Amino acid sequence: MIDTNVNRQHGNNVKWSVIKDDDQLLPMTVADMGIATPQFIREAMQRVLDTKVLGYTMPSTGFYDAIIRWQKEHHDVTLKREQLILVPSVAVGLSFAIRHLTQVDDGIIVMSPYYPPYKQLVDDNHRQFVEFPLVQREGQYVIDFNRLDQLMTDSQAKAIIVCNPHNPGGCVWTTTELQRLEDIANAHHMLVLADEIHDDVAFSDNVPVSMMSDLMGEEAASQTILLKSATKAFNLAGVKCAYLAVKDPQMLTTLKQAAAAEAIEEVNTLGMVATQTAYEQGSEWLTEVNAYLEENRNLAYEYLREQVPMIRPMYPEGTYLIWLDFMAYGLSDAELDTKLRDLGHLCLNPGIDYGKTGKGFMRLNFAVDRSVLKDALHRLKHFDESVRQK
């Protein structure tokens, strides 16, 4: 039984920190959920707290087995324990892989629009950020493979970050697209950094395929670093536990040695407990959550198309994020953000933060109680009416 009756307005959570400037403001931003972390996970964590000591803890065989079983049963990814490296978060894992598998000034290709920390991770590790704009076709993002092939040739980049499902666009890349991408990357000896943190948020009309799935074949797996976590689907972002999967023996040796040198696998005790419990007990709960999120997605998409047609939503095939095109209003990005806050008392993620292709867009997180989502949609309609009357 899922619980959507949560109040996060007090405390130091990132999403609600914006209301200090406007207590009427409704934030629909940061990619965690307004749905309670499952009770069975909270109870498992409480049992650890009841031992009265939060001392040094090592990951158990059961912890690794839970990851391996979940990835095989839900994503057709076959893994062995020795192919896993623990990290506090996917972002940390990306930085770690970039630092140890590429060289200073190497190019890293990132599809745009992109999750904003990608740019900081690349830049701060002194690599070249190579932005590859996605193109829209029939209202959805697609990959122009001819341009990608040419970019890989011209830029001499060494790696590409592939976010699937895509944040912020909500696209689920098809098997055909992933295989084409893998073929091009292989031809250019390109490392694939597969950020699949959102892939457990799956709807009935789209099921994400992993770049490391058995369906993709051994060649794709050998050039891929898989980055995963239970945190998005089970609302666990604060407990800090994620993992890399590496199948190529040489890259695995490099990263294992680096992980030991940096002690990077010393992850949060409660994070390990939460992850293991999620993967062992969470299948039924997740099915219920995804059904609820799918109804939220359908409500938001249809409401905007029917009631606020000047805002053009991109259909979310995965994730609990909907990417909204506000370009019909002719506002600058700063004006759009200000008017949404002042007229709608609504805080969304500005699209310009996601790269140059995000200009004129906003990102809305619909992983909330349905009444909250309806409130946000009504605020968007009020914003629309107010802007058009002026």
Categorize the per-residue pLDDT at 20 as very low, low, confident or very high, splitting at 50, 70 and 90: low
pLDDT tens readout for residues 285-308: 999 999 999 999 999 999 999 999
Is residue 107 pLDDT above 80, yes or no?
A: yes
Which residue, 211, 213, 157, is CA-closest to 180? 211
Is residue 62 pLDDT above 70, yes or no?
A: yes
Is residue 10 pLDDT above 80, yes or no?
A: no
Which CATH architecture best describes the domain 53-280?
Answer: 3-Layer(aba) Sandwich (3.40)
Residue extents of the structural domains in the chain: 15-39+284-389, 53-280
pLDDT tens readout for residues 233-270: 999 999 999 999 999 999 999 999 999 999 999 999 99
What's the Cα-to-Cα distance from 217 to each of 247, 250, 355, rounded to whole Å?
12, 18, 32
Categorize the per-residue pLDDT at 1 as very low, low, confident or very high, splitting at 50, 70 and 90: confident
pLDDT for the residue numbered 13: 73
Query: How far is 388 from 390, CA to CA, in rounded Å?
Result: 6
Average pLDDT value for residue range 57-71: 97
pLDDT tens readout for residues 320-334: 999 999 999 999 999
Query: For the chain, what is the mean pLDDT?
Result: 95
pLDDT for the residue numbered 9: 75
Average pLDDT value for residue range 353-357: 96
* 3-class SS of residue 147: helix
Is residue 29 pLDDT above 90, yes or no?
A: yes
Residue 18 CB coordination number (10 Å): 15
- Is the CB of residue 269 less than 8 Å from the CB of residue 44? no
pLDDT for the residue numbered 390: 66
Q: Of 14-18, 191-195, 349-353, where does mean pLDDT reach its minimum?
A: 14-18
- Is the CB of residue 135 less than 8 Å from the CB of residue 113? no
Is residue 120 pLDDT above 90, yes or no?
A: yes
Concatenating the DSSP letter of every residue in 117-146 gives: HHHHHHHHTT-EEEEEE-EEETTEEE--HH
pLDDT for the residue numbered 64: 98
pLDDT tens readout for residues 188-236: 999 999 999 999 999 999 999 999 999 999 888 899 999 999 999 999 9
Tokens standing for residue 75: 């994503």
pLDDT for the residue numbered 376: 98
What's the Cα-to-Cα distance from 33 to each of 5, 131, 218, rounded to whole Å?
11, 29, 35
What's the Cα-to-Cα distance from 383 to each of 87, 226, 341, 343, rounded to whole Å?
42, 41, 9, 5
118 backbone dihedrals φ, ψ, rounded to 5°: -55, -45
pLDDT for the residue numbered 8: 77
pLDDT tens readout for residues 142-187: 999 999 999 999 998 999 999 999 999 999 999 999 999 999 999 9
Which neighbouring-strand residues pair with 110? 131, 161
Which residue, 42, 315, 77, is CA-closest to 205? 315
126 backbone dihedrals φ, ψ, rounded to 5°: 60, 40
Query: How far is 180 from 175, CA to CA, in rounded Å?
Result: 9
CATH number for 15-39+284-389 (one of 3.30.70.2190, 3.90.1150.10, 3.10.129.10, 3.30.60.50): it is 3.90.1150.10
pLDDT for the residue numbered 352: 97
Tokens standing for residue 147: 């341009």
Residue 154 neighbours by CB under 8 Å, 6+ apart:
none
Query: How far is 177 from 160, CA to CA, in rounded Å?
Result: 15
